[in-house]
Amino acid sequence: MSEPEAVVERAVERLRPLYKAASLSWWDANVSATEENEQRRVAAELALSDALADADLFGDIATARANGAEPLVRRQLDLLHASLVPQQVPESLRHRIVELEASVESRFAQHRGEVSGRPVDDNEIKRILRESDDVAERREAWEASKTVGAAVADDVRELARLRNEAARSLGYRDWFALAVDTSEMDETRLFETLDECDRLTVDAFAGWKAATDARLAERFGCTVAELRPWHYEDPFFQEVPAAGGVDLTEVFAGKDVVALARATYDGLGVDTNAILDRSDLFPRDGKCQHAFCIDVDREGDVRVLANVADDRYWADTMLHELGHGAYDIGFDQGLPWLLRDCHLTVTEGIAILMGRLAQDAEWLREVVGLESADVERLEAGLRAAQAAELLVFTRWVLVMTNFERALYADPEADLNALWWELVSRYQLVTPPDGRDGPDWAAKIHVACAPVYYHTYLYGNLVASQLRATLDRVAGGLVGRREAGAFLGEQVFRPGQSLRWDRLIEAATGEPLTATHAARDIAVGLAS
């Protein structure tokens, strides 16, 4: 065994059991949120984080990389290096960051804004913004959604300073540069792609928004110029107002959403039974309310947590999570442990590609069994709704990513003003008159999932690009075993043996581009 191989083996021996323990305790804490499970989860995560912070291990990896190794070993060393770099900061600083993050996160969980003197959670705020025709009440609900920002803003700013201190001690310009670099992205390329997304969506968004604003002005009996953030349905306007979508309530009522998802993957020749058997799929007290898929051991123990109901949202979510799962069980099991993994942009791309089927005409006909006439009636609306979602989401990511770059460039800047400048520019939303509050801090990702949002946008670009390839090589996706075989061979099997951007280029014949997503938007809006 060569010295570089020995370094990899030592690292894996150390990390593998810690990774599995952290995965299992994460699963347990989400399935049943007891005090004991929560303590075990924190302990397991700290143990993993301490191992990743080991300076001797990091030194061995750096030396082995510098001395050169054959490609698959080099690839493993690169992945190890990227996971260990962010942890190579003085322990006191690392722990301060972890503790402050945990404190901000728990304040987000506990904080409740108030409407008419009563505390309201996020669901209630969203309900008011969806249903209420009372503009004063809407405004109160929107204001309530921002109060958490004021409660945590000083600490979020402090987190940015601490993260910058950590990044600079490692030779990076700031935390933004470190985060992008250690996730195998290139900052110049990232902003070229974001600029491309901006250019390709700016006119379509302005047109769509003008039509939406006209409808909203009519609904609320005001002029378009009088519309403010609380006239939209999502507190950040990151989602399409329901009026712009298609109502599929009747279509999914009484349907077995899990069986539909299983049948969808069966149609691709992907057997998801092993995943579903280990999964926890229905609502229960004391259980996490969201959904996720986890690969516990990279040896086939893949599970989904969900809270399935018979509606479009959960159909989309089950298809989405099983997309992550199909990827995880599809790695070439002959690959080394470190390479039986995937990059976030690609696994999100697969999951988004599959989740989109819940609004796909062919899927509704072939898998759900809807009558052709009903599907035809819905088809144009479905395409338009998907296009609007992608459009609105793209503009929102432009706000988030540009804001985060500016935040880490200068945490002392006038962030309140900068936030509204970006919201006005990219989302075309008029700020409330004289607004000067830390509305940026009300978005939990800024504090707790820093420099991550662009991953969701990349996932959408990957989904559109893969879909175009599948249409070309397999004639589509739904019920096509050739499409499943293509994804299995070209995307799943290689795992992390090659970088995500090269994987996309190899699978689709071109580097990642926004043109396929832009075409999906144009086709949808034209229908």
Residues that bind Zn ion (CB under 5 A): 351
Q: How far apart are CA 125 and CA 262, in angstroms?
A: 34
For Zn ion, the closer CB: 347 or 394 = 347
**Cβ atoms of 365 and 272 closer than 8 Å:** no
User: Which of 291, 264, 268, 289 is closest to 279 using CA atoms?
Assistant: 291
Q: Which is nearer to Zn ion, 236 or 327 (CB)?
A: 327
Select 351 or 397, whichever has its Cβ closest to Zn ion.
351
CB closer to Zn ion, 89 vs 351: 351
Least separation in angstroms between residue 455's CB and Zn ion is: 10
The interaxial angle of helices 454-474 and 372-409, nearest 10 deg, is 140
State the minimum distance, in angstroms, from the CB of residue 294 to Zn ion. Answer: 11
Which stretches does DSSP call E strand in 235-305?
Answer: 292-295, 302-305
Shorter beta-carbon distance to Zn ion: residue 149 or 495: 495
Q: Minimum distance between the CB of residue 324 and Zn ion, rounded to whole angstroms? A: 6
- Residue 384 structure tokens: 């338009």
Q: With the C-alpha atoms ordered 444, 86, 197, 487, is the resulting torsion angle positive or negative?
A: negative
Tell me the residue nearest to Zn ion as measured from the CB: 351
**Residue closer to Zn ion (CB basis): 289 or 372:** 289
Which residue lies nearer to Zn ion by CB, 144 or 351? 351
CB of 496 to Zn ion, least distance (A): 17
Shortest separation between residue 348's beta carbon and Zn ion, angstroms:
5
Beta bridge partners of 293: 304
* 106: exposed, middle or buried (Cβ count in 10 Å: 0-12, 13-18, 19+): exposed
In the chain, the amino acid numbered 129 is: L
Considering beta carbons, is residue 11 or 319 the nearer one to Zn ion? 319
Q: Which is nearer to Zn ion, 318 or 351 (CB)?
A: 351
For residue 390, the minimal CB distance to Zn ion (Å) is 16
Nearest approach in angstroms of CB 459 to Zn ion is 7
Residues paired with residue 302 on neighbouring β-strands, in sequence order: 295
Of the pair 343, 405, the CB lying nearest Zn ion is at 343
Q: With contact defined as beta carbons under 8 Å apart, do 346 and 503 qualify?
A: yes
CB 487 → Zn ion: shortest distance, Å? 16
SS (H, E, C) 118-165: EEECHHHHHHHHHHCCCHHHHHHHHHHHHHHHHHHHHHHHHHHHHHHH
For the chain, the residue count is: 527
- Least distance (Å) from Zn ion to the CB of residue 264? 16
Q: Which long-range contacts (CB under 8 A, 24 or more apart) does 176-179 make?
A: 176/404, 176/405, 176/407, 176/408, 176/409, 176/451, 177/408, 178/85, 178/86, 179/86, 179/450, 179/451, 179/452
Strand partners for 118: 115
Concatenate the DSSP letters of all residues of 226-238 into one string.
G--GGGSSSTTS-
| Residue 294 three-state SS | strand
